[in-house]
Structure 1
Amino acid sequence: MTEALRPLRPLQAQISGDSSNPRSPQQAGSAPALTPVSIPDPLTRRVICSQCRIRKVRCDGRPDICQNCDRLGFECSFQQAPGKSPGQYFVKLPERRRRMQACIPCHSKKTRCLGELPSCSSCVRRNRVCTYPRTRRNGTSAHGHDVVEGSRVDGKQANTSPGQDIGMVGQAEGSAIDHETTLSLLEDYFQHLYPLPSFAFFHKATVIQRCKDQTMNETLKLSICAITALQLQRTSLCHDLWIQQAEQSILQQIGRASIFHLQALLLVIRYKIESGEFPTAFMLAALAARTALALRLNYERPELSDVAQEVRRRLFWALYLLDDFFCVGLREFELCPEETIHLQLPCDEDYFEMGRFVHTGLLRPGPSEVLTTVGLRGVYLRLTSVRRAVMRFNRRVGLGEELSSTIGGSIRHFEEELRSLQVSLRPADQYSVSNMQSSKWPAQFVMLHMSWHQCHCDLYRLGLDGYSEAAPSPVLAALHPRDRVAMQFKCLEHAESIIRIVSDFSNYEDARECLLERDAAVCAFESARLVMFGSRIQGAVSTLDVAINKAKLSLGLITRFFPHSASTQPLRKDLERLIASYSVRLALQTQETFTEPEQPPSTRLSTKVSQYASSRQRLSVQSLLLQSDFVDDSHEIAGPTPPADTYTHALPDLLQPSAQSPSPHGYGPSSDRTSAAASKPQQWSPAGNGQLPSPGLSLDAGQEDAGLIFNPWMGFTGTEDMSGRTPVLDHEF
């Protein structure tokens, strides 16, 4: 159908036809090819050609042909056609040209896309599948594949099963997955991802059967295939499109709580974390927690079948483990506070596969519990709970909220809990190389024992004088020297044990088929730091050169098992810089010309969040919440933002290091917190104020003492003079 051409404005004079007839003969029939328009007198007003007027762009009025028409190849109305009277010109409407459109991966990640075909340079550089949205004209993408339509937009879907999506939007090109690919990715999921603690909330036989019957929930299918393709780096598959489709379906049905959608949402969140979309993952995690509570997943449902009950439990416990990506032991960010959980622990895999119920006990073990009923997954959850309690304890010690007289008793209490966890393991689950090799789940096995040792490191490093996460000087002074030395050697002993596990697992032939979760990288990173730092302590097991080689084993594990994970990249880069710095220290010691490395330049105080919140939270540079880079824009409520120098002039002491500034731990070499707080208002030193160093700040061995390297679980250590706060605060925060 030919589109009618319209005049730019009413004609100043009637050209032809009866003036009384509202429509000319041409208008009464089919649309004319040309429409007469009037050219304004150049002497009375600014000259604008017809094309520029139609397109509503600025015209330079250049004679013969304007610059816009010349550049775009349009027929300009300034070009007087032969036989046409001046003042009138018959012109065609300009052809409609589409603006450059970003591909779907670049659009979802909000990165610049140049729109090249068949693949944009950004996707080629990042080795990902590049696909463009389908056009309205032909319903195909830029690749030209046919689009497979999903369910109807109006939500009316025939033969809908209980697990089927309702209201699915039409799928974009590439989001449809053929049956063979789906089955293959499902098998890969259960072989590689299911052994990990955070992915074990499916019943394999049920999911596989639904896939074969083609009754599987569409959103869930997309999310499983997407996370599997991402983790296994199946770059030929359009997993970016799949996860985008799954996320859109979940958000469109946000008011319709569903077990299937919650399962899919957890996988979407993990996908976002692994691909570096931390702010989105953080916000979606809150939606997952609300959905779980709406479905009452934190309570038992005895009337359900054994398989359904166990799936519900495992789904909630997977959500519980998700807290460690963001809250870092901070109660205010927790999705699933332990006091709200009224579930027993997941059962052993053999019972789950058989669909048989077995009592496993609660998160906190009871006095009469049968220890043999708790498998690897249950013990891992209990260990996670203890580690979070240790983190909260360490924060209280760092903030001066734990009395020196109670610190020793608290440490002994945690030691007893960790000892009980080890005893609760079956003989086949105790650590040895042979048990690791014969374990059905070697990745789960290794992660459990690494985390157990790391919990001891987190506890004992309080006594590691000079370390960035050590207890404040007054607390260390209150400890008996014998106890402090014992804590130091216990901390280093457990760090050495982690590296030994790293070495055993790296040399295990079948380990190349395994995947690990981020906590394994955290444990490897922290053990490497501790071993290199501890090499300076007299009587340490490892000298500096040996410690550097052991740290390289940890770096090798992070590099090998997390090559594409955005969440572990900071760990790898920081450890590389730290090993390089200690290597320089070793070379200088060998040359007998060693001098302490200079401290890096001070960094400007961040104003993105409340200073009090920064001190209380002490988020680490590896924290995904801190990497999310949320900015508090509350200052815009009252008016325009003040100039940048206003803050600098108002707080000169915050930006300039001085001899009176407190040490990275909040205390000077020979002063205490009370004297520092009484002498002057709180100063936030650049090295330890709970804020991030500048992005370009490189880590070196000298920064361990300065508190510039941070534990991914414990967080940022720094000055905690809490002037102005209430005397009694909840010890959990």
Structure 2
Amino acid sequence: MRLNYEKPSLSRLAQELRRRLVWSISSMEGNFAFGVPELNVCRREAIHLELAQSDECFQHGFLYHNRLDLFGLAIKLRQAREDIMIFSPSISLRTSAELIAATADMERNLAEIDGLLRDEDRYWASRLCRAANQTQLLTVNMALNQNYCDLLRLFLAGYQEAASDTMLAELDPEFLSTRAERAVQYAYSNIAMAEDFTRQYSHLQLYDLDVAVCLYHAAQIVAFVTGPQGTPQAIIQVNQCLHFFKVFYPLSKTAQPMVRDLERLARKLYSNPTRPHLNDRIETDTHDPSELAVAGSTVPKLSIHSLLRQADFPDADHHETSPQTENTVEDEVITGVDEENDPDFSFDPWMGWQGSLDPFGYLQLSDLY
């Protein structure tokens, strides 16, 4: 079918449907192995399509001038975050100067995407009620903040995803302090958005897991950066995040690993406020070292919200050569494995369209190729 290529001979509607289908599949894939290129099926380099046109243009028969709307911005933000996630594991192989240069380039890219956001697409509590799609507006604005957090946390000494202490020691302390302040500001902003959204729209359904992911990382950064002196405020912020999860993802198996991790973080803050660091989450992995050596290094790259990690698919070689072992309780906290139930696969709202699928009449599937 070669849906990943433009085909000018098709009607404008068929071309647009191809774009939306492929970009939606690419976006949905982020729930499985985001930032791990070797596990991507619908790779960005293989997509030779323009971004989808705006819903307004699409719904009115392409009579309006095309512009990048929230759907297109969401795709751009996913691409930018993927670049950051691919870059992060390689920082140990770089110098501090290379780290600063690379992150500056990625930050400029984020600033360009930020500049594409129209005023009416920015999150303001007062104008949220007038938005055509409140959940998409929330998702895009939180994703933008999270992209900045993903970059800035590379400079948080001691943080799990940060550069090594040796590399960071070469940098100006004021430079590092500024980035820590910015990281926590973006995290606070996401938590504030979520709190406001919960207050106004608790009746809405959130299918996209991206909001949950952004909120999970926001809570982690706030707890880490504020330190012992900010523990009471951090506890409040973590509890607000947990409340959001319970309101919008009460039955989601995909969100449960993040909920359990945040609950454990809250307990840690209560019981040991002098050490709110988060690296203990990795230290509790009780897998046998030889088992990890056989399984390879791909699975640890997967984030806690990855559906592939939650499914706990065995490595092919490992499955053939090693006996099955039971997960301990702590393994379940880390990997999100639920041995009694399969994880449910959340539907991404960006896969769908507002209104009729075919505003111009019945369209045959064969018209797409």
TM normalised by structure 1 equals: 0.42
| CA deviation after TM superposition for structure 1 residue 629, in Å | 1.6
Deviations along 1:339-379, one digit per CA (max 9) or x if unpaired, are 2211111111122112226675xxxxxxxxxxxx1111111
| CA deviation after TM superposition for structure 1 residue 439, in Å | 0.5
Number of residue pairs aligned between Structure 1 and Structure 2? 331
**Residue in structure 1 matched with residue 170 of structure 2 by the alignment:** 478
**Residue in structure 2 matched with residue 524 of structure 1 by the alignment:** 215
The one-letter amino acid of 1:548's match is I
Native 8 Å contact 1:299 1:341 kept in 2: yes
The one-letter amino acid of 1:322's match is M
- Asked whether 1:503 is paired with 2:195, we answer yes
Native 8 Å contact 1:306 1:357 kept in 2: no
- Asked whether 1:315 is paired with 2:21, we answer yes
**Residue in structure 2 matched with residue 335 of structure 1 by the alignment:** 41
**Residue in structure 2 matched with residue 21 of structure 1 by the alignment:** none
For residues 662-677 of structure 1, the aligned pairs below 5 Å read: none
Partner Cα distance (2:312, 2:306) in 1: 10
Q: Mark the CA change 1:516 to 1:627 in structure 2 (over 3 Å): closer, same or farther.
A: closer
The one-letter amino acid of 2:170's match is A
Partner Cα distance (2:203, 2:293) in 1: 45
Native 8 Å contact 1:330 1:617 kept in 2: no
| CA deviation after TM superposition for structure 1 residue 472, in Å | 1.5
| CA deviation after TM superposition for structure 1 residue 694, in Å | 4.3
Native 8 Å contact 1:404 1:475 kept in 2: yes
Native 8 Å contact 2:223 2:234 kept in 1: yes
The one-letter amino acid of 1:614's match is S
Richer in helix (by share): 2
2:125 aligned residue (414, 433, 451): 433
- Asked whether 1:383 is paired with 2:81, we answer no
- Asked whether 1:489 is paired with 2:181, we answer yes
Native 8 Å contact 1:453 1:494 kept in 2: yes
2:86 aligned residue (392, 406, 416): 392
| CA deviation after TM superposition for structure 1 residue 320, in Å | 0.5
Deviations along 1:635-659, one digit per CA (max 9) or x if unpaired, are 686xx86999xxxxxxxxxxxxxxx
The one-letter amino acid of 1:378's match is G
Partner Cα distance (1:446, 1:546) in 2: 24
- Listed as ranges, the gaps of 5+ residues in structure 1 are 1-294, 361-372, 645-692, 701-733
| CA deviation after TM superposition for structure 1 residue 537, in Å | 6.9
**Residue in structure 1 matched with residue 296 of structure 2 by the alignment:** 613
Partner Cα distance (1:601, 1:574) in 2: 12
For residues 100-111 of structure 1, the aligned pairs below 5 Å read: none
**Residue in structure 2 matched with residue 120 of structure 1 by the alignment:** none
**Residue in structure 2 matched with residue 304 of structure 1 by the alignment:** 10
Partner Cα distance (2:175, 2:109) in 1: 19
Native 8 Å contact 1:462 1:471 kept in 2: yes
Deviations along 1:317-344, one digit per CA (max 9) or x if unpaired, are 1111122112220111112222221111
- Asked whether 1:351 is paired with 2:38, we answer no
Task: Name the structure, 1 or 2, with higher relative contact order (CA <8 Å, separation 6+).
Answer: 2
Native 8 Å contact 1:548 1:582 kept in 2: yes
**Residue in structure 2 matched with residue 455 of structure 1 by the alignment:** 147
**Residue in structure 2 matched with residue 442 of structure 1 by the alignment:** 134
Partner Cα distance (1:584, 1:320) in 2: 42
Q: Mark the CA change 1:343 to 1:641 in structure 2 (over 3 Å): closer, same or farther.
A: closer
Native 8 Å contact 1:608 1:631 kept in 2: no
| CA deviation after TM superposition for structure 1 residue 478, in Å | 2.3
| CA deviation after TM superposition for structure 1 residue 575, in Å | 1.0
- Listed as ranges, the gaps of 5+ residues in structure 2 are 335-369
For residues 177-326 of structure 1, the aligned pairs below 5 Å read: 295-326=1-32
**Residue in structure 2 matched with residue 562 of structure 1 by the alignment:** 249
**Residue in structure 2 matched with residue 603 of structure 1 by the alignment:** 286
| CA deviation after TM superposition for structure 1 residue 596, in Å | 10
| CA deviation after TM superposition for structure 1 residue 414, in Å | 1.5
Q: Mark the CA change 1:326 to 1:606 in structure 2 (over 3 Å): closer, same or farther.
A: farther
Deviations along 1:691-716, one digit per CA (max 9) or x if unpaired, are xx94336979xxxxxxxxxxxxxxxx
| CA deviation after TM superposition for structure 1 residue 612, in Å | 8.3
For residues 644-723 of structure 1, the aligned pairs below 5 Å read: 694-696=328-330
Partner Cα distance (2:319, 2:250) in 1: 40
Deviations along 1:531-590, one digit per CA (max 9) or x if unpaired, are 12222177xxxx21122111111111111111111111111111112112212234xx7x
Deviations along 1:481-500, one digit per CA (max 9) or x if unpaired, are 22211111111111111111
**Residue in structure 2 matched with residue 634 of structure 1 by the alignment:** 317
Q: Mark the CA change 1:312 to 1:615 in structure 2 (over 3 Å): closer, same or farther.
A: closer
- Asked whether 1:574 is paired with 2:268, we answer no
1:622 aligned residue (280, 284, 305): 305
The one-letter amino acid of 1:332's match is E
Question: Helix, strand or coil: the match of 2:33?
Answer: coil
Native 8 Å contact 2:52 2:71 kept in 1: yes
Partner Cα distance (2:125, 2:212) in 1: 20
Native 8 Å contact 1:528 1:554 kept in 2: yes
| CA deviation after TM superposition for structure 1 residue 595, in Å | 11
Partner Cα distance (1:596, 1:439) in 2: 38
| CA deviation after TM superposition for structure 1 residue 521, in Å | 0.5
Partner Cα distance (1:476, 1:628) in 2: 36
Native 8 Å contact 1:347 1:358 kept in 2: no
Native 8 Å contact 2:88 2:154 kept in 1: yes
Partner Cα distance (2:218, 2:155) in 1: 16
Q: Mark the CA change 1:641 to 1:449 in structure 2 (over 3 Å): closer, same or farther.
A: closer
| CA deviation after TM superposition for structure 1 residue 427, in Å | 1.5
**Residue in structure 1 matched with residue 204 of structure 2 by the alignment:** 513
**Residue in structure 2 matched with residue 25 of structure 1 by the alignment:** none
The one-letter amino acid of 1:578's match is L
The one-letter amino acid of 2:268's match is S
Question: Helix, strand or coil: the match of 2:93?
Answer: coil
Native 8 Å contact 1:456 1:491 kept in 2: yes
Deviations along 1:14-71, one digit per CA (max 9) or x if unpaired, are xxxxxxxxxxxxxxxxxxxxxxxxxxxxxxxxxxxxxxxxxxxxxxxxxxxxxxxxxx
TM normalised by structure 2 equals: 0.80
Deviations along 1:448-479, one digit per CA (max 9) or x if unpaired, are 01111111111111111122222112221222
Q: Mark the CA change 1:635 to 1:459 in structure 2 (over 3 Å): closer, same or farther.
A: closer
Native 8 Å contact 2:57 2:65 kept in 1: no
The one-letter amino acid of 1:374's match is L
Partner Cα distance (1:512, 1:378) in 2: 26
Partner Cα distance (1:352, 1:483) in 2: 45
Q: Mark the CA change 1:507 to 1:392 in structure 2 (over 3 Å): closer, same or farther.
A: same
Question: Helix, strand or coil: the match of 2:203?
Answer: helix
Partner Cα distance (1:635, 1:437) in 2: 52
Q: Mark the CA change 1:300 to 1:486 in structure 2 (over 3 Å): closer, same or farther.
A: same
The one-letter amino acid of 1:388's match is E
Partner Cα distance (2:133, 2:319) in 1: 52
The one-letter amino acid of 2:26's match is Y
Partner Cα distance (2:108, 2:95) in 1: 20
Question: Helix, strand or coil: the match of 1:512?
Answer: coil
Native 8 Å contact 2:188 2:222 kept in 1: yes
| CA deviation after TM superposition for structure 1 residue 633, in Å | 5.2
